[in-house]
Amino acid sequence: MRRKAYPLVPVLGLVVAGCLWALAGSAAAQVSGPCTAAMNGVDVNRISTPGTALEVPYGGTIKVEVESQEPVTGRSVALEFAGIRWTVWSGAGVGSSWNHTMDVSKYSKYGVGLYKIVGESTGGNACTGTAYVRVTGKSPLTTVAGIAGSIVGLIGLGFLVGSVVSSVKRSSGARGIGNGVIAGILLAGSFLVLAQQFGVAYPTLTVVIVAGVAGIGLGALIPAGLHAATSGAGSAAR
């Protein structure tokens, strides 16, 4: 039984290590191009990582200020989440500097936690400034995102229990692995949502992919190991 279970240990270790590496390795945001940028008066280079995010209350505002060396032809502000970016405001150029104030409650009505904001100027001296904000002032467990993440996590735990139960039955190894994979996906999704809502980690595309792979890997390996171990014990008993 032990000989069959031991080979899974280094694999589990690599999967967990990869997930931790992704969470710790969020790339720093910064200003790209010949301009300076600030949010609520703070240079974006000082709030360029999730760990240094600018804290703002969910009912407050964020003022984005950009100053370029030359006149700009366009300006925009976007939000980015898990590698997906969408524009929340845009306008024509007005000289070499511009600003825009965002109402936080408009964009945080469904959740709080960590977000990435991108300000962009277009024209001859195009530039982009990105930074992180942490929306506070409300319990994540009272938001739509937090509640949804918790429910998904509970469902994932249910599938995990079912996976363990199925895995110890000699004839139900495949069912246990199937339930384990579903549990891994659901628990990974729950973890990412709650980590973002509590301001623990920002889900970049890399983090999402690694967490998903880790969830699927652990979800499959744990029941497979249990099934192999219990099957081995049953064979040895005979």
9 has a pLDDT exceeding 50: no
> How far is 132 from 79, CA to CA, in rounded Å?
10
Alpha-helical runs (H) found in 57-197: 104-107, 144-167, 173-197
Homologous superfamily of the 33-136 domain (CATH): Immunoglobulins (2.60.40.10)
Minimal CA–CA distance to 52: which of 28, 77, 76, 78? 28
Q: Please state, rounded to an integer, the average pLDDT across all residues of the chain.
A: 81
236 has a pLDDT exceeding 80: no
For 158-191, the pLDDT digits (tens) are 999 988 887 777 555 677 888 889 999 999 999 9
- The domain limits of the chain are 2-25+140-237, 33-136
Length of the chain: 238
| Strands, sheet with 97-103, edge to edge from the N-terminal-most edge strand | 42-43, 35-39, 61-68, 97-103
14 has a pLDDT exceeding 70: no
What distance, in Å, lies between the first and last C-alpha atoms of the chain?
14
- Rounded to 5 degrees, φ, ψ at 79 are -110, 145
Q: Distance from CA of residue 40 to its chain's centroid?
A: 24
Least confident of 25-34, 59-68, 154-163, 169-178: 25-34
DSSP state at residue 28: P
pLDDT confidence bin for 5, thresholds 50/70/90: very low
Kindly report the pTM of this predicted structure.
0.78
pLDDT confidence bin for 47, thresholds 50/70/90: very high
- What pLDDT, on a 0 to 100 scale, did the predictor assign at position 152? 97
> How far is 153 from 160, CA to CA, in rounded Å?
10
179 near 185, Cβ under 8 Å?
no
For CA atoms 121, 206, 212, 55, the dihedral sign is negative
Alpha-helical runs (H) found in 25-136: 104-107
For 189-216, the pLDDT digits (tens) are 999 999 999 998 898 888 888 899 999 9
CB atoms within 10 A of CB 125: 15
Alpha-helical runs (H) found in the chain: 2-5, 8-24, 104-107, 144-167, 173-197, 205-237
